[in-house]
Amino acid sequence: MHRILITGAAGAIGNVLREGLRGRYPVVRVTDRAALGPAQKGEEVVEGLDLADLAGLEAAMKDVDAVVHLAGTPVEQPWEPILANNIIGLHNTYEAARRQGVKRIVFASSNHTIGFHPRGRHIDETVPPRPDGRYGVSKVFGEAMGRLYADKHGMEIINLRIGSFQPKPKNVRMLNTWLSHRDCVHLVDVCLRAAGIHFEIIYGVSANSRNKWHDSLAARIGYRPQDNAEEYAAEILVAMQPEDEPLTERLFHGGEYCAMEFDGDLAKIG
Ligand SMILES: NC(=O)c1ccc[n+]([C@@H]2O[C@H](COP(=O)([O-])OP(=O)(O)OC[C@H]3O[C@@H](n4cnc5c(N)ncnc54)[C@H](O)[C@@H]3O)[C@@H](O)[C@H]2O)c1
């Protein structure tokens, strides 16, 4: 990989990846619709580019080998921003990449694609999607777009089902789902370098003792997370016990996203 492009580089994960991947690739191009600051050594900056702008995206992808696609609405929101950023913007990103001959896309998907799977069960990358909101549905759409562009156009796609990207875990659920900053940088780095990729799903979590998400790709591509949320368990459990989580949250992998706007029947969700 000579030149990589990070979309959404002004955001929380984008900033950490921009810093962490700088110097590991000859050129790191960063883009966002928000301000990005001046280009550092080894960087190219494309500022003020919205995912709505297909021609602009195509220009930003010229001579790019791989895209790390982070830009989008990162939480549950009304339909309008999700439609604009995660559906239309996602399509524009894939289409611009195809037109420019980009080989690989590493897509920031989410655990909210599988949120309504019962938390009592360990799950892997083969379980059917069970999104827990409009945001989760948009990430399922993103993964499906990747499937299409891999099968139909031969692009190499890795979907990162990111857990909880935080400096440290903040609550009981994050003892399962935490992804530390340094593990995130390492994960994206191995995803960019891995050989033999067609269409893959990998869970973005640290080496948490309570992790319940497993996939076959992590070991295959050499993902070796160093951090474990368990180091923070004592301080978290002083403030909150697992049974303090409301039932509609603690029953499911998606946690509080499952409880948002919930008016379903818990007894029917197997
Ligand atoms: N933070 C997490 O724990 C987490 C978990 C799962 C998945 N993700 C995914 O990772 C990605 C990055 O998340 P984050 O926490 O850094 O979010 P963030 O909001 O901090 O960053 C997102 C960036 O995307 C940009 N953006 C949004 N819409 C855009 C558009 N239409 N055109 C151009 N730029 C646009 C924003 O300006 C922002 O800088 C998102 O796709 C999110 O869904 C994050």
**pLDDT tens track for 58-79:** 999 999 999 999 999 999 999 9
Read off the pTM.
Answer: 0.98
CB 208 within 8 A of CB 175: yes
H/E element, 44: strand 43-47
Q: Is 239 exposed, middle or buried (0-12, 13-18, 19+ CB in 10 A)?
A: exposed
Which ligand 1 atom is nearest residue 50's CA? Answer: 32
Q: How many other C-beta atoms can be found within 10 angstroms of the C-beta atom of residue 70?
A: 24
Q: Where are the domains of the chain?
A: 3-268
Q: Please tell me the distance from the alpha carbon of residue 47 to that of residue 19, in angstroms, as a whole number.
A: 17
The answer for 154, left when phi > 0, alpha when psi is -120 to 50, beta otherwise, is left
Nearest CA to ligand 1 atom 7: 110
In CATH, which of 1.10.287.3510, 3.40.30.20, 3.40.50.720, 3.40.47.10 is domain 3-268? 3.40.50.720
Task: Judge if the beta carbon of residue 162 lies within 6 A of ligand 1.
Answer: yes
Nearest CA to ligand 1 atom 23: 8
Task: Judge if the beta carbon of residue 164 lies within 6 A of ligand 1.
Answer: yes
Token look-up 């799903």 returns 201
**pLDDT tens track for 154-167:** 999 999 999 999 99
Beta bridge partners of 29: 5, 44
Q: Taking 90 as the threshold, does the pLDDT of residue 266 lie above it?
A: yes
Which ligand 1 atom is nearest residue 75's CA? Answer: 43
**pLDDT tens track for 95-152:** 999 999 999 999 999 999 999 999 999 999 999 999 999 999 999 999 999 999 999 9
Q: Taking 90 as the threshold, does the pLDDT of residue 242 lie above it?
A: no
